[in-house]
Amino acid sequence: MNNEHIIDEKKQGQSLHTEGKKSNTKKLFIESYGCQMNLNDSEIVAAIMEENGYNTTNLLEEADLVLVNTCAIREKAEQTVRKRLEKYNAIKKRINPTMKVGVLGCMAERLKEKFLEEEKIVDLVVGPDAYRDLPNLMTEVEAGRDAINVLLSRDETYADVSPVRLNSNGVSAFVSITRGCDNMCTFCVVPFTRGRERSRNPESIVSEIQELWDKGYKEVTLLGQNVDSYLWYGGGLKKDYKNATEAQKQNAVDFAMLLDKVAQQFPIMRFRFSTSNPQDMHLDVLHVMAKYKNICKYIHLPVQAGSTSMLKRMNRQHTREEYIALIDNIRKIIPECAISHDIIAGFCGETEEEHKETLSLMEYVKYDFGFMFAYSNRPGTPAAKRMEDDVPMDIKKRRLTEIINLQQVHGLYRMEQFVGKTVEVLIEGDSKKSAKHWKGRNSQNAVVIFEKTGNEAIGDFVDVKIDTCTSATLIGNRV
Ligand code: 5AD
Ligand code: SF4
C-alpha cells in the first residue's frame, strides 16, 4: 500500500491525536506504523473508541490505553514495534501501572496469542477485521483478563464508521474502498494478515466523501491494496463474484465507474488513489482519469522486478512486456501522468541478469518516484515455505543502492520537466523550512514550495510557476 503507499518515514509511529467528545473521560494514545491503510484504520479505531468513552491524547504518560497499529511487511517494521512495546513496558512499570496496551494490525494477525504469552506487556491483541470488537475486548481487559480477536472477515469494510481524522491538515484525507488482497505475491504477508479481498458499498464511499467536503476537505485518496480490482455487487468477497446473480452482475460497480461517479459528483474535490496492480489496471480507468481534471495524474504502479522470470517467481500476474504495454498506454492516454513504483532488491534466486533487467525497466519508464526495499523473508509466505532466501545481504544491499541511485537520477529528470511551467497546487500548510513559504502538491504528486503572498490560505488551489527544483521538490512563485 504508500509515498501514497508508504507513510512519510518521519510520520511513522507518531502519536495520532484529535479533539474528541467533551463527555469522554478516558484517554487513548494511538500510534500507527506502515501503510496509509493502517493510518486510515487507526482513524476508524479512534472513531469506535470515541463512541466508547475514549478521547485521543498525544501524552503517552497520561494514557489509559495505548494502541499500536502495527505493520508486518518487513522484519524491520516488526523490530521497530517491539522496541516501542519495550518502551511502553518501562512507562507502565515506572509511571502509569494501570495503563493497558494493545497491539492492532498486521503483526497482531501474524503473531496472535504469541503476543500475550511471550510479550507480557501486551493486554490486548486485535486483528484488522476485528476493531468493532474493541469495546467488548476492553471489558475483558478491565476485568483483568487477556483479550484477543484476530478473526478475519468475509464482509467487514467498516462502511458505516465515520473515521475520526487524526493529525489531519484539514485538506486531504483517506477513504478506504477495498480491504484485503487476493493476489498472493509469494513474498507478501498481507493476504495472510488482512484476508481476502472485499469492496465497500459505493453509497457509503460517496457519503464519507460528502462528509469530508462539508468539513472543507479538498483532496481524497481512495485506498485499497488493489484499487483497480474494486467490485461492488451487493457485498461479499471478490472471489465469490462468479456466484453472483444476473441482477447483481448487471448492477455491479467497478473501479472505473466508482472513479467516474466521485469525480463527477465532487468536481472541486481532487481525487487520488492507491495502490494499482498492473494486471488489474484496465484502459477504462485510464480514460476516466483523462476525462476529469480533478482526478490527479499520478499512478502508483508497483512492479517489484523487471524480468519476466522474477515476476513469475514472485507470482505477479503479468510479464515485463505486459507491464511495458501498460506504461505505453498510460503515456498515450494521459501524457502528463506521473508514475511511481515499488521495487524489491534481492528476492529469492535473483541473478545479476535479472537485477540488470530491473534497472533497464527503470530506464525505460523513468519513474517520477519510487519506494525501494531489500527483500525481507516473511515467515508463512509462499516464498518462505518454498524458496530459498539465497541472495547474500551484501549483494542485496549493493543492488538496492544501484536501484535507489538510478531512481534519484530519474526523479530529478522528471522534476526538471516542470521547470518553466505553471502547475496547479493545492496548499497543504507551511513549508517545513520556512513559515514564509507554503507547501503543497501538484496533480502529479510532486511537492511544490512557493513564497506566500498574503493572498492565499491552506486548502486553496493556486497556480505556481516553477523556477527551479531538486530531485524531490519543485520551487516557484505564484503567477
Ligand atoms: N520484503 C521486502 N519488501 C516487501 N514488500 C512487500 N513484501 C516485502 C518483503 N517481504 C514491498 C513491496 C510492496 C510494498 C508495500 O512493500 O514492494 O509493494
Ligand atoms: Fe502484497 Fe501483492 Fe497483495 Fe500488494 S498485491 S498486498 S504485494 S500480495
Indicate the average pLDDT of the chain. 93
Q: Where are the beta strands (DSSP E) in 12-107?
A: 15-16, 26-32, 54-56, 65-70, 100-105
- What is the grid cell recorded at 280? 488489474
> What spacing in Å lies between the alpha carbon of 358 and ligand 2's midpoint?
19
Decide whether any atom of ligand 1 lies within 6 Å of the 378 Cβ: yes
Contact 283, 329 (CB under 8 A): yes
Atom of ligand 1 nearest to the CA of 73: 7
Per-residue pLDDT at 3 exceeds 80: no
Instruction: Report the amino acid identity of residue 205.
Output: I
The CATH code for residues 172-415 is 3.80.30.20
Q: What is the pLDDT of residue 99?
A: 93
Nearest CA to ligand 1 atom 7: 188
> What spacing in Å lies between the alpha carbon of 466 and ligand 2's midpoint?
36
Query: Which amino acids bring their CB within 6 angstroms of ligand 2?
Result: 181, 183-185, 188, 190-191, 225-226, 277
Q: What is the pLDDT of residue 110?
A: 87
Q: CB count, 10 Å around CB of 288? A: 19
CA distance 174 to 35: 12
Contact 471, 412 (CB under 8 A): yes
Atom of ligand 2 nearest to the CA of 184: 8
- The H or E element spanning position 207 is helix 202-214
CA angle 153, 11, 88 (to 5 degrees): 75
Confidence of residue 9 (pLDDT cuts 50, 70, 90): very low
Grid look-up 486485535 returns 126
**Among 1, 3, 76, 187, residue to substitute to test ligand 1 (most atoms within 8 Å of Cβ):** 187
**Among 36, 188, 315, 317, residue to substitute to test ligand 1 (most atoms within 8 Å of Cβ):** 188
Cα separation values, 365 from 266, 304, 325, 328, 355, Å: 32, 14, 11, 9, 16
pTM here? 0.94
370-382, pLDDT tens digit by residue?
Answer: 999 999 999 999 9
CA distance 447 to 453: 18
Superfamily of structural domain 422-478: Nucleic acid-binding proteins (2.40.50.140)
* Domains of the chain by residue range: 6-149, 172-415, 422-478
The closest of 273, 196, 194, 283 to 237, measured between CA atoms, is 196
> What spacing in Å lies between the alpha carbon of 225 and ligand 2's midpoint?
7
DSSP, res 267:
T
- What is the grid cell recorded at 344? 524489491
> What spacing in Å lies between the alpha carbon of 185 and ligand 2's midpoint?
6
Per-residue pLDDT at 247 exceeds 70: yes
**Average of per-residue pLDDT across 79-101:** 89
Contact 1, 174 (CB under 8 A): no
Atom of ligand 1 nearest to the CA of 35: 15
- What is the grid cell recorded at 285? 480507468
Confidence of residue 15 (pLDDT cuts 50, 70, 90): low
CA angle 183, 187, 193 (to 5 degrees): 65
> What spacing in Å lies between the alpha carbon of 73 and ligand 1's midpoint?
6
| DSSP per residue, 44-70 | HHHHHHHTTTEEE-S-GGG-SEEEEEE
Atom of ligand 1 nearest to the CA of 6: 15
Decide whether any atom of ligand 1 lies within 6 Å of the 347 Cβ: no
**Average of per-residue pLDDT across 85-91:** 88
CA distance 327 to 322: 9
> What spacing in Å lies between the alpha carbon of 391 and ligand 2's midpoint?
22
Confidence of residue 12 (pLDDT cuts 50, 70, 90): low
Atom of ligand 2 nearest to the CA of 225: 6
172-223, pLDDT tens digit by residue?
Answer: 999 999 999 999 999 999 999 999 999 999 999 999 999 999 999 999 999 9
Per-state percent for the chain, helix, strand, coil, to nearest 5? 40, 25, 40
Assess if CATH 3.40.50.12160 describes domain 6-149: yes
> What spacing in Å lies between the alpha carbon of 118 and ligand 2's midpoint?
29
> What spacing in Å lies between the alpha carbon of 180 and ligand 2's midpoint?
9
- What is the grid cell recorded at 108? 497482531
Per-residue pLDDT at 33 exceeds 70: yes
- What is the grid cell recorded at 443? 496533480
CA distance 181 to 169: 29
Q: Which of 158-167, 203-212, 362-371, 396-405 has the lowest mean pLDDT?
A: 158-167
Grid look-up 478473526 returns 151
Q: What is the dihedral of CA 167, 172, 175, 180, to 10 degrees?
A: -70
